[in-house]
Structure 1
């Protein structure tokens, strides 16, 4: 299978780049003793779990279907967390997870009898401090519903808990900032942590970013673990798949209204939603910082503000030309939708051998079936 023969739009996962990230994860584990569970809310493309599984310890979830997916396709430890479980969710998930983490003391009290004897019990705590670039993604934002606040804790609950989870980072590339957060929760919650078997520090720690001081992070994690005598977990998502995947699109039209817009056969609203939600422009492999030809890279959806970025090129763009939208794995495939009835991108993986493996493709029947089923008379 040749890349040029593939019909756009499609995602292309690069196995070699993925393994490079995983080798950094392996080093962090070896130096610190931390266990790593893949955050399925970020990346659930199970067709490449055969690459990831040897390096990590399991998966963690934010909803019941993710728990089931991790259990069935990844193996290892299966951690279950949800901001709000129903009783049916708890009954189903408790049968297949190793750890069940509740978001509130009220849910813990209501459902722990279902979990006892089946999975380890955990509770999410909100430390009131965090590292996040935008308030939308800040777990410690004002009036946060995520985890139990320190002044709301019933100390007695820790006598019957196995562990706790903190999630307080979002794309944190600053090891010193993370160490400061670690010190803060040790000081604030240390008396409780000392009673536990394990502590999850959540995700958002970008330890695979170029230049990140992994050794410094490892030392801080090891020190924390030994101080409180707990097994530490991190829940990486983006850190595992960053810079591994392109969304490949084609220019289908060029229109001009004071500025030139290259319309591509994809849309942020449907295929790269976080570009729109967080107002973070995409990067294009073919672009040139000093290029003389500027274009808006516009989506083919009908949403007026739906565009990937504004960027420059050395040469004018042409209809039919392919563009590679970089770093398109995290929070993309898990958020794909059928807005405007657009063709959903196929998903491929380029293996180290050079072979291109098709993981999935979608057609009209998938679109139709997602909305209704034929009535049976």
Structure 2
């Protein structure tokens, strides 16, 4: 089947590009001794886990359903973390996770008796510093609820802990900035590490970015782990799936009000939510920086500000033309919703042999079931 035969909108995951990132991850593991866990909050399309599983050590989660998904479809180590567990959450997942990480000392105190002896106990710590481009995604922002700050730690909690987790990076492409954060962790928390078996340094380290100094990162991780005699974990999401997936759309109309807008059969509100939340424009494969024809690539939703980007093209766009919205894997498929009752993109994977595999497709009945399952008579 040719991609031109697929009905838009759809996501197309490229196995060859995914393997390129995974080989870099493998190299990092070999050099550093770190273990890598796929962050399901970023990417959870389990239909391609057969590609990823040979390279990573397991999964990490941000909620109970992600824990179950990782356990059932990925295997390896299953790490459970949540900003706030209910008692039912703890009961549901304790028997299927290897590491159980609490966000606060109060939750640890409340539930550790349910977890002890079943899973390795962890606690999230907040170093008070981070690398994040936007306040919304900054775990060290003012009044942060994410993890325990150094001056709030009760040292007694470490008598029952096996490990700790830090998450302090968001799309960090600067290895020197990451090393500086490691030094902060050492200064603030190093005296607690002798009592621990493992430390997770979270996600957001963009080690697959072109030009990233893998060797320097690996050296810093190895030295840190050896100094404290700890097993280190990283929790990559974007680093694994960056530049692997296009959202393919079709232009359904072109309108003009001082600037031409190409309206496509997709929308950021429902299909690429982070574009809207973080106000970061998408990139179009067919565009050129100095093209003579400028268009807003507009969504087909009713939200006035819902658009993908402004882009330039060498030739005028036409109704019926397809566009490829690049790098559309991370924090996209996990956030799909039915806003406006729009058609949900199908999900495909193009395998290295050229075969295009359908991973998921949605129809009206899926939309209807998402709103109600029973009527009141």
Shorter chain as normaliser: what TM range? over 0.9
Q: Aligned residue for 1:275?
A: 275
Gaps of 5+ in 1: none
Secondary structure (helix, strand or coil) at the match of 2:303 reads coil
Equivalences, count: 377
Inter-partner Cα distance in structure 2 for 1:202 and 1:284: 30
Inter-partner Cα distance in structure 2 for 1:302 and 1:311: 21
What RMSD over aligned residues (CA atoms) do the two structures have, in Å? 0.7
Q: Deviations for 1:307-349, whole angstroms, at most 9, x for unmatched residues?
A: 0000100000000000000000000000000000000000000
Gaps of 5+ in 2: none
Inter-partner Cα distance in structure 2 for 1:2 and 1:113: 55
Q: Deviations for 1:120-176, whole angstroms, at most 9, x for unmatched residues?
A: 000000000100000000000000000001110000111110000000000000000
Q: Aligned residue for 1:339?
A: 339
Q: Deviations for 1:99-122, whole angstroms, at most 9, x for unmatched residues?
A: 000000000000001001110000
Aligned ranges 1:276-315 → 2 under 5 Å: 276-315=276-315
Secondary structure (helix, strand or coil) at the match of 2:4 reads helix
Secondary structure (helix, strand or coil) at the match of 1:59 reads strand
Inter-partner Cα distance in structure 1 for 2:82 and 2:153: 19
Inter-partner Cα distance in structure 2 for 1:14 and 1:41: 20
Q: Deviations for 1:203-251, whole angstroms, at most 9, x for unmatched residues?
A: 0000000000000000000000011110000000000000000000000
Inter-partner Cα distance in structure 1 for 2:104 and 2:233: 20
Inter-partner Cα distance in structure 1 for 2:375 and 2:284: 45
Q: Deviations for 1:44-76, whole angstroms, at most 9, x for unmatched residues?
A: 000000000000000000000000000000000
Inter-partner Cα distance in structure 2 for 1:50 and 1:141: 37
2:92 is equivalent to residue 92 of structure 1: yes
Secondary structure (helix, strand or coil) at the match of 1:194 reads helix
Inter-partner Cα distance in structure 1 for 2:271 and 2:162: 39
Inter-partner Cα distance in structure 2 for 1:139 and 1:219: 25
User: Normalising to structure 1: TM-score of the pair?
Assistant: 0.99
Inter-partner Cα distance in structure 2 for 1:358 and 1:181: 42
Aligned ranges 1:201-280 → 2 under 5 Å: 201-280=201-280
Instruction: Tell me whether 344-353 or 186-195 shows the greater mean CA deviation.
Output: 186-195
